[in-house]
Amino acid sequence: MACGTRTDGRLTAGQSKTRIKGVSTDSRTVLPGQLFVALRGPNFDGHDFCAEAVAKGATALIVSRPDAAESLAQPVAAVAVEDTLTALGQLAAAYRARFSPIVAALSGSSGKTTTKEMLRALVEPLGGLATPGNFNNRIGVPLTVFCLEPNHTMAVFELAMNEPGELAALTEIVRPDIVALTNVGTAHLGNFNSYDDLKQAKAELIVHAPATSRVVLNADCFGCSWIAERYCAGREVVTFGIEEPADFRAERITPLDPLGYRFDLITPDGQATATLKTFGRYNVSNALCAAAIARLMGIDLEQLCGALESFRPLALRSEILEIGPVTVIADCYNANPDSVDAALRGLAEFAGERRRVFVLADMLELGDEAVMAHREIGQAVAEGGVDLFATTGEIAQWASWEAGRMAMRAGHFETKEELARALADELQPGDVVLVKGSRLMALEEVIERLKELLGAPKAG
């Protein structure tokens, strides 16, 4: 692959016809024959590790600092570009153009990783590729694209965004045949001037997809309806939903004991009984999104229902843990007002007559709405039958303050250690504890401390 012509860069060292066997952005894991792209981040500069990458066998470099390649002991090909992150995307787009699998790209304010994991269980046995882990940003998506091989018949890419232009860039790299939005809520609202601006940024997934791409949207989501009216003219739109009429629907949703749901999966070309062994009715909506994408990719209903029944969530995403005498719902990979509200409804349904305990840390990236959003969560907790409410974080204290003002038992803790110890003293056998917070708040530390204080978890 001629990196220079595909990245608007210029060759500053080595041979233009140097063959590369892969692409890496991490000098610690680079393999012999790979291209090393020197990225710059807030806490590191990949140019400082070019020598390490070459020592491990990298045969080519993409740099924005030519001097980083000039001082190397071993001669390697080096391409100088203005911005290495942009160049990584350009190279991935050129590589993607070499293949022709059926490609689906999905995004949304919440549920996109879970939906992608449901689809992984379907496409990988059929010779497909799916985004690994959370490789859903401007680094992870290109690296996933480089995993494409000629034998891949289909591919599912998860695309994330937290500012305008990100979805546009990622969509143009993967060139999807199918695009889907799980929902459009208030996640990352603080990075935008208004909710309309956020919705427009989500719509980049559609606007920047090929004109022939089919669109999958959540019929129960106002933001998705707003996008459909403004950006989907002339496109084939397929909908999924529980509450509103939709092409893919869940009817007769029945909670299962001890966990999960059974429902009638209604599709345009047939119906089947589906079983989902996960916490939270919102995961039924995620399953409907996965079903719509799968059917558009040509996967039959029997395979679809089998994959849904065998699906289990990733760690910290509605994960059920039995810790000593209590049940913990570890749902702390992300948090925004919509997902917290959905999780609280799930807690009420799952706990039944058992005591409900809610642990909340800051919901981040809400901007000027942050304090009011947390106060509203506090009101919802006080009115929603939660028995005990504990918070940690600078902003989450507003939630416990509001709940306490409404006469419920709530407390705020300066540290996660203080919270875990207080919680361990208060918990009773049979309690159900929902733990929810944004990723940067690392609430899994509270869960790990509870394991130490209450006993090791049994398989969930």
The predicted-structure confidence for 200-223, as pLDDT tens digits, reads as follows: 999 999 999 999 999 999 999 999
Write the CB contacts of 185 (distance below 8 Å, at least 6 apart in sequence): 109, 110, 221, 223, 336, 337, 338, 339
Output the DSSP codes for 274-336: EEE-SSSTHHHHHHHHHHHHHHHTT--HHHHHHHHHH--PPTTSSEEEEETTEEEEEE-S---
**Digit-coded pLDDT (tens) for 221-232:** 999 999 999 999
**Digit-coded pLDDT (tens) for 379-438:** 999 999 999 999 999 999 999 999 999 999 999 999 999 999 999 999 999 999 999 999
Q: Which of 218, 193, 236 is nearest to 227 (CA)?
A: 218
CATH 3.40.1390.10 describes domain 3-84? yes
* Confidence at residue 3, expressed as pLDDT on a 0 to 100 scale: 52
Helix (H, G, I), strand (E, B) or coil at 214: strand
**Digit-coded pLDDT (tens) for 266-300:** 999 999 999 999 999 999 999 999 999 999 999 99
Residues 166-186: what's their mean pLDDT?
A: 97
Residue 387, Cα to own-chain centre: how many angstroms? Answer: 30
In whole angstroms, what is the distance from residue 35 CA to residue 76 CA?
Answer: 10
Report in angstroms the alpha-carbon separations of 392 from 363, 373, 443: 11, 15, 9
DSSP 109: S
**In which band, very low, low, confident or very high, does the pLDDT at 6 lie, cut at 50, 70 and 90?**
low
Location of each CATH 3.90.190.20 domain in the chain: 319-458
Class of domain 319-458: alpha beta
Helix (H) or strand (E) run with residue 77 in it: strand 77-80
**In which band, very low, low, confident or very high, does the pLDDT at 186 lie, cut at 50, 70 and 90?**
confident
Residues 149-176: what's their mean pLDDT?
A: 96
In whole angstroms, what is the distance from residue 250 CA to residue 238 CA?
Answer: 15
pLDDT at 459 over 50: no
Percentage of the chain modeled with pLDDT above 70 = 97
Strands (E), 90-206: 102-107, 129-130, 154-158, 178-181
Location of each CATH 3.40.1390.10 domain in the chain: 3-84
In whole angstroms, what is the distance from residue 177 CA to residue 99 CA?
Answer: 13
In whole angstroms, what is the distance from residue 86 CA to residue 97 CA?
Answer: 17
pLDDT at 19 over 90: no
CATH 3.90.440.10 describes domain 99-310? no
Q: Which two tokens stand for residue 122?
A: 């379907």
Location of each CATH 3.40.1190.10 domain in the chain: 99-310
Single-letter amino acid code for the residue at 350: F
In whole angstroms, what is the distance from residue 208 CA to residue 169 CA?
Answer: 8
Q: Which two tokens stand for residue 215?
A: 């669109």
Q: How many CB atoms lie within 10 A of CB 309?
A: 15
The side-by-side arrangement of strands in the sheet containing 129-130 is 129-130, 154-158, 102-107, 178-181, 214-218, 237-241, 248-255, 261-267, 270-276
pTM across the whole model? 0.93
* Confidence at residue 460, expressed as pLDDT on a 0 to 100 scale: 45
**Digit-coded pLDDT (tens) for 234-262:** 999 999 999 999 999 999 999 999 999 99
Task: Determine if the peptide bond prior to 258 is cis (ω within 30°).
Answer: yes
Q: Burial, 69: exposed, middle or buried (Cβ in 10 Å; 0-12, 13-18, 19+)?
A: buried
Q: Are 281 and 288 in contact (CB under 8 A)?
A: no
For helices 444-454 and 416-426, give the axis angle rounded to 10 degrees: 40
The dihedral formed by the CA atoms of 385, 439, 158 and 254, expressed in degrees to the nearest 10? -20
* Confidence at residue 390, expressed as pLDDT on a 0 to 100 scale: 98
